[in-house]
Amino acid sequence: MLILIVVDIGKGEAQLSDKFYSTSCPNVESLVQQAVLNKFKQTDVTAQATLRLFFHDCFVQGCDASIMIQSPNGDAEKDAPDNLSLAGDGFDTVMKAKQAVEAQCPGIVSCADILALAARDVIVITGGPSFRVELGRRDGLVSKASGVAGNLPEPSFNLTQLVAIFSKNNLTQFDMIALSGAHTSAH
């Protein structure tokens, strides 16, 4: 199920909890949801772009939003050849959600959690199931283009190679099929 995929790849080293921001930013989920919905109304590629962005982030260093880091030298994860095709709408969705959250809860919610929530919200908006997202991820502080190669499935991969790279990320062949279809689906 897609529910398990997002939850499984979303776990990092932090202690995750669905109540992580219950006192420090209790409206975080509704703030992100509204920002995602507003962006989705502007362009219908928002869902696929945001989900693909989350996938690319999680497969490289874990779900730490390091894909969002910009480098003046053009050597961050987002600048790697495998990530150049990521649609700007995914980045824009997360940035708009981050701005909405920062306006009410400055300096509290990680971009990694906002990206995870946004990925869940685009799944729901496009008719997928709703599910709980545990929060408490820490933002990555390192983002290197050189760390991307070999960590994302290549278009030329055969089934054995695809299964291996998904397995490396604790995902099954079923998960691979669901994610492959989900980030290219139309609403």
Residue 157 Cα distances to 95, 150, 152, 162, angstroms: 32, 11, 10, 6
Options 52, 56, 120, 137, the catalytic residue: 56
Residue 183 falls in the annotated catalytic set? no
Residues acting as catalytic residues: 56
